[in-house]
Structure 1
Amino acid sequence: MKYYLGVDIGTTSTKAIVFDEKGKEVKKASREYPTLSPQAGFKEQDPEVIFQAVIDSISNAASDLSGIIDFISFSAAMHSIIAVDKEGLPLTNSIIWSDSRSEGYVEEYKISGKGREYYKRTGTPTHSMSPLYKLFWLRDNEKELFKNTHKFISIKEYVIYKLFNVYKVDFSIASASGLFNIYTRKYEPKILSDIGISEGKLSEAVPTTHILRGMKEEYSEAMGISSSIPVVIGASDGCLANLGSNSIKEGAASITIGTSGAVRVAFNKPVTGEGERTFCYILTEDKYIVGGAINNGGDAYRWFRDNFGELEVLESKERDISSYEIFNRYLEASPPGSRGMIFLPFLTGERAPYWNSNLRGSFIGISDLHTKPDFTRAVIEGICYSLKDVYTSIEALVKEVKSIHINGGFMRCEEWIRSLSDIIGMPLVVAQSFEAPCLGAIILGLYALKEYDSLEEAAELCRTAEVYAPRKENIEMYNEIFQVYKEAVERLMSLWERLLKYQIK
């Protein structure tokens, strides 16, 4: 039996999972880390804390199996940026996708049309998540630091540099930076000139199938693995979620709900939408993942639990169960539609399809009929409406969506899956493994090491566990509520803008 190790450097944790040659999970380890918010709009993480989480996760997952693991392959969250000096030491924290400090530059580039021009070349929408706009902010607000920076890199590049002493970035992560031309697969000179940096300030861009060897002994020993083990540089978590849920064929869509959420489809060529409502990122030279990501997925559910679930958290500790188990049971006590209450989940602004960091969350339609179970259901339904909003944009680009494959932590809650199926109005295919990015990294690794002739063939490792069909009696109701949801977003935009000045930390 052969074993492979997939590592996903996520927003809230790093996961390392060993899979066997049949795609079955054998052993798993993870380490969480905090997000720092030193002031309003700032979202950062300590890169060294994340690197240690990678070391610990791999060490724990590989223990007792290290001598028989064939390779390691990486997945990572997109849109982070770290400034490092000549010794590779961080000059900044990792500024992550949810950081909105660059919103002023985003607005400027939207108004001038320059952002739209750059989107057409890079596939990265004009939004504060993009490292492009973070670099503008650093250039103008941290001038000395910007001048003294040796390289601007992502969190995955930081990990790769620490392990191998080389600056390399895969095409997938690079294509989500706003700096990389998805047609030429090279950095876009006009954009670099606009920022005022040379290509030498960035890592060498390589295919996602690129293989690294010769890991530093201090880290291979710390992880209990051989320094000569092949390490596939891998791709971004979003692209690998599609691959790891077997949704890279024409007409197959993937929906993810983890910390955030996304809807994605695969194309054999770059595709950018006319309304700049979708992104286009590289998986391989002939596979491009097109879709839209939402800011507020599982983190909105966690916000609700943390702020309104004190009793449930105490109960969960007494019973030694997850507090989410208690909240998930509340869904059974509230009917579909949450008795006419809607949650707009924009706690941290929004990416697709609005690409507006100024959107804010709201509960609409509250009455004295509503109870905590209704609020709980409204939260998960609001996240589902947000994903349907993205899905309708994706549908416009695809001739026909033939199947939808789901992945992410929400799959542990059956009623959440059923609600999403009802709201989307399509059957949802559930894979055996919840951990699509890690499995996708393994599938890409097998393709990179030429164990399979095509990605499509390798993706068959992802096996279907179950299919959830929409409940017919709920479809019409949810369609009507979704229209109210859409109208509410449009009508509230100006009011949210007026309230922003009061949202000071």
Structure 2
Amino acid sequence: MNYLIGVDVGTTSTKAVLFDEKAQVLDSYKELYQLYRDGNGMAEQNPDDLTAAVEKVIHDAANRAKSLGGQVLAVSFSNANQSVILLDKNHQRLTRAMTWADTRAREVAAKLKATPDGAKIYAQTGTPIHPMSPLTKLMWLKQTQPEKMAAAAYVADIKSYLFWKLFGKFRVDISTASCTGFFNMHTQDWDDEILKLTGITRSQLPEIVDGTTKETGLTPSAKQATGLDDETPFVYGAFDGALSNLGVGATRQDTVAITIGTSAAVRVATDHPVVDPEQRLFCYSIDRQRWVVGGPLNNGGDVFQWAANHLVDSSAAKSEDKSVYDVANEVIASVPAGAHGLLFHPFLGGERAPLWDANARGSFFGLNPLHTRADMLRAVMEGICMNIATVYDAVCDLVGKPASVTATGGFARSEVWKQMLADVLDVAVNIPESYESGCLGAVTMAMKSLGMIDDLDAVQDLIGSVGAYQPEQATVRVYQKYLPLFKQVEGLLKPAYSTIARLQQEN
């Protein structure tokens, strides 16, 4: 038996999953690294720590394959997008990696969004004007760190930096490139006019290649660190959102993919670029024939984690020999839909889609003396789902209501949460048994690159068993009353977010 390794390069960890030739999961390996938050809005990685983590998990997966007497046919990558690393003329880094979560460019983004250029750039790139975008990050660096920008011979992202360290090739896949804010989705190339805003040129950027492109010839240090033969193909793959869609089989416009992990996302694949007149959604490439339209949300499982840690009696959970998360799920299941008239807006970490406002803040609405911590827990989970529903509705506005929704992520460990999502959206929600959708998507790209499959749609035959959750109409009717109010209150509070964010920074 031969094997394939899918690698998911994330914000705080990297995971490698070992698959057999039938795309069955055999084992997985994970390495953590630090996310630096040394200042207000900062969210940076050390790219060398990340590279070491990637090499370590590949080494562990490759050792497992060798112990089974097989050969690694290829390694392929899923990665977090929208990172920025400045490099000198020798490709040595001048900075750490600014990640998608870095919000220091918020003022730059707000000013650009308020100009006619903002709408034009969105229409050309499909990237909402937001501090997450490499476009606004580079504009911010140009203003605040001009000496580093002047010294930068190259501008990399995590994917191009990683492949430079592994192979000495400065390239990036089209999917990751499409998320930068200066990639023209119509010409499928860097946009020279938009680049003028940053002060850099295309000569400083990596070469754009197809996601199925292979590299061979590992550097001696990478060969030693990974334990692989230097001729083992490494496939570029795509950014994590695109591959999550691919990995759950959501490759057509009639299937929406939802991910709820630490953060969340709603995405649908299309065969043509789609631009949202209200600029609520992104439109990025999967490959040169498919695009993914949707919205990322900052607030998902991390908000539930916050609520469980603050609203569940930890001593009671300990006495029952349960985690606070298990207790929270039990409590939530005991409270009726609507949480006795309590709403929660889950914007603890600002918000991307649909608000695109880094200053957004969380709030309970409707609190009265009868409400309990149990109601608050229920309202938090419902608020996460309703926030997802606002993005889901925006996707439906653009491409039509889908025939089905497929959802993955850590939330799928909660029965009450899976049923709640189906009820809030009023649509059947399919849950794949495997949680490894990103790595499966990466491996599917590797299989196409190697000629093992003819088309990425073949992923439909590789996905394991799927469970389905049907909406319960009595509960749906409750949420149909609350969801419009959720959106109304969101609109009323939006003008106050910048003020409360400023006051919080002063304290």
Question: Same fold, TM exceeding 0.5?
Answer: yes
> Could you tell me which residue of structure 1 aligns to residue 102 of structure 2?
99
Report the alpha carbon displacement of residue 238 of structure 1 after superposing the two structures with TM.
0.3
Compared CA separation, residues 340 and 61, structure 1 to 2 (3 A): farther
Report the alpha carbon displacement of residue 412 of structure 1 after superposing the two structures with TM.
1.3
> Could you tell me which residue of structure 1 aligns to residue 461 of structure 2?
460
Q: Report if aligned partners of 2:311, 2:377 keep a CA contact under 8 Å in 1.
A: no
> Could you tell me which residue of structure 1 aligns to residue 216 of structure 2?
213
> Could you tell me which residue of structure 1 aligns to residue 481 of structure 2?
480
Report the alpha carbon displacement of residue 29 of structure 1 after superposing the two structures with TM.
1.0
CA distance in 2: counterparts of 1:57 and 1:446, whole angstroms: 20
Aligned letter for 2:372?
Answer: T
CA distance in 1: counterparts of 2:379 and 2:48, whole angstroms: 38
Say if 2:403 is the partner of 1:431: no
Report the alpha carbon displacement of residue 308 of structure 1 after superposing the two structures with TM.
4.9
> Which moved further from structure 2: 97-106 or 412-421?
97-106
Report the alpha carbon displacement of residue 313 of structure 1 after superposing the two structures with TM.
11
RMSD of aligned residue pairs (Cα, Å):
1.9
CA distance in 2: counterparts of 1:108 and 1:147, whole angstroms: 23
Aligned letter for 2:129?
Answer: T
Compared CA separation, residues 498 and 53, structure 1 to 2 (3 A): same
Match of 1:171 among 163, 171, 174: 174
Post-superposition Cα deviations, 1:413-455, rounded to whole Å, max 9, x if no partner, equal: 1211110110000001111211211111111111122211111
What SS class does the counterpart of residue 63 from structure 1 fall into? helix
CA distance in 1: counterparts of 2:308 and 2:253, whole angstroms: 38
> Which moved further from structure 2: 427-436 or 38-47?
38-47
Q: What residue ranges of structure 1 are gaps of 5+ in the alignment? A: none
Match of 2:282 among 279, 282, 285: 279
> Could you tell me which residue of structure 2 aligns to residue 57 of structure 1?
57
Q: Report if aligned partners of 2:352, 2:358 keep a CA contact under 8 Å in 1.
A: yes
Aligned letter for 2:342?
Answer: M
Say if 2:137 is the partner of 1:134: yes
Q: What residue ranges of structure 2 are gaps of 5+ in the alignment? A: none
Report the alpha carbon displacement of residue 369 of structure 1 after superposing the two structures with TM.
3.2
CA distance in 2: counterparts of 1:45 and 1:498, whole angstroms: 30
> Could you tell me which residue of structure 2 aligns to residue 119 of structure 1?
122
> Which moved further from structure 2: 457-466 or 71-80?
457-466
Q: Report if aligned partners of 1:12, 1:259 keep a CA contact under 8 Å in 2.
A: no
Report the alpha carbon displacement of residue 9 of structure 1 after superposing the two structures with TM.
0.6
Q: Report if aligned partners of 1:447, 1:458 keep a CA contact under 8 Å in 2.
A: no
Report the alpha carbon displacement of residue 267 of structure 1 after superposing the two structures with TM.
0.8
Post-superposition Cα deviations, 1:256-278, rounded to whole Å, max 9, x if no partner, equal: 11121111111111111111111
Q: Report if aligned partners of 1:312, 1:326 keep a CA contact under 8 Å in 2.
A: no
> Which moved further from structure 2: 53-62 or 122-131?
53-62
Match of 2:259 among 233, 256, 265: 256
CA distance in 1: counterparts of 2:95 and 2:350, whole angstroms: 24
Q: Report if aligned partners of 1:443, 1:459 keep a CA contact under 8 Å in 2.
A: no
What SS class does the counterpart of residue 64 from structure 1 fall into? helix
CA distance in 2: counterparts of 1:149 and 1:322, whole angstroms: 48
Report the alpha carbon displacement of residue 90 of structure 1 after superposing the two structures with TM.
2.5
Say if 2:87 is the partner of 1:84: yes
Compared CA separation, residues 358 and 224, structure 1 to 2 (3 A): same
CA distance in 2: counterparts of 1:45 and 1:371, whole angstroms: 40
CA distance in 1: counterparts of 2:236 and 2:313, whole angstroms: 42
> Could you tell me which residue of structure 1 aligns to residue 358 of structure 2?
357
What SS class does the counterpart of residue 172 from structure 2 fall into? strand
Report the alpha carbon displacement of residue 157 of structure 1 after superposing the two structures with TM.
1.8
Compared CA separation, residues 53 and 313, structure 1 to 2 (3 A): farther
Aligned letter for 2:33?
Answer: Y
Aligned letter for 1:499?
Answer: I
CA distance in 2: counterparts of 1:195 and 1:288, whole angstroms: 26
What SS class does the counterpart of residue 65 from structure 1 fall into? helix
What pairs with 1:263-412 in structure 2 (closer than 5 Å)? 263-308=266-311, 311=314, 315=318, 319=321, 323-412=324-413
CA distance in 1: counterparts of 2:256 and 2:195, whole angstroms: 33
What pairs with 1:189-208 in structure 2 (closer than 5 Å)? 189-208=192-211
CA distance in 2: counterparts of 1:136 and 1:45, whole angstroms: 20
> Could you tell me which residue of structure 2 aligns to residue 23 of structure 1?
23
Compared CA separation, residues 286 and 334, structure 1 to 2 (3 A): same
CA distance in 1: counterparts of 2:409 and 2:202, whole angstroms: 35
Aligned letter for 1:110?
Answer: K
CA distance in 2: counterparts of 1:213 and 1:273, whole angstroms: 40
CA distance in 1: counterparts of 2:131 and 2:474, whole angstroms: 40
Aligned letter for 1:410?
Answer: F
Aligned letter for 1:472?
Answer: Q
Q: Report if aligned partners of 1:268, 1:288 keep a CA contact under 8 Å in 2.
A: yes
What SS class does the counterpart of residue 286 from structure 2 fall into? strand
Aligned letter for 2:228?
Answer: I
Q: Report if aligned partners of 2:166, 2:222 keep a CA contact under 8 Å in 1.
A: yes
Compared CA separation, residues 179 and 446, structure 1 to 2 (3 A): same
Q: Report if aligned partners of 1:247, 1:405 keep a CA contact under 8 Å in 2.
A: yes
CA distance in 1: counterparts of 2:245 and 2:72, whole angstroms: 24
CA distance in 2: counterparts of 1:334 and 1:48, whole angstroms: 47
Q: Report if aligned partners of 1:271, 1:280 keep a CA contact under 8 Å in 2.
A: yes
Report the alpha carbon displacement of residue 48 of structure 1 after superposing the two structures with TM.
1.9
Report the alpha carbon displacement of residue 384 of structure 1 after superposing the two structures with TM.
0.7
Q: Report if aligned partners of 1:312, 1:323 keep a CA contact under 8 Å in 2.
A: no
> Which moved further from structure 2: 192-201 or 362-371?
362-371
Compared CA separation, residues 329 and 22, structure 1 to 2 (3 A): farther
Q: Report if aligned partners of 2:313, 2:324 keep a CA contact under 8 Å in 1.
A: no
CA distance in 1: counterparts of 2:123 and 2:242, whole angstroms: 19
Compared CA separation, residues 314 and 413, structure 1 to 2 (3 A): closer
Aligned letter for 1:483?
Answer: P
Aligned letter for 2:64?
Answer: D
Q: How many residues align?
A: 503
Q: Report if aligned partners of 2:2, 2:20 keep a CA contact under 8 Å in 1.
A: yes
Aligned letter for 1:375?
Answer: M
What SS class does the counterpart of residue 284 from structure 1 fall into? coil
Say if 2:79 is the partner of 1:72: no
Aligned letter for 1:54?
Answer: V
> Could you tell me which residue of structure 1 aligns to residue 449 of structure 2?
448
Q: Report if aligned partners of 2:125, 2:181 keep a CA contact under 8 Å in 1.
A: yes
CA distance in 2: counterparts of 1:373 and 1:46, whole angstroms: 40
Compared CA separation, residues 465 and 108, structure 1 to 2 (3 A): same
CA distance in 2: counterparts of 1:63 and 1:257, whole angstroms: 31
What SS class does the counterpart of residue 397 from structure 1 fall into? helix
What SS class does the counterpart of residue 64 from structure 2 fall into? coil
Report the alpha carbon displacement of residue 161 of structure 1 after superposing the two structures with TM.
1.3
CA distance in 2: counterparts of 1:147 and 1:305, whole angstroms: 47
Q: What is the aligned-residue identity percentage? A: 36
> TM-score, normalised on structure 1?
0.95
CA distance in 1: counterparts of 2:57 and 2:316, whole angstroms: 26
What SS class does the counterpart of residue 446 from structure 1 fall into? helix
Report the alpha carbon displacement of residue 99 of structure 1 after superposing the two structures with TM.
1.5
Aligned letter for 2:50?
Answer: I
Report the alpha carbon displacement of residue 396 of structure 1 after superposing the two structures with TM.
1.2
CA distance in 2: counterparts of 1:269 and 1:186, whole angstroms: 16
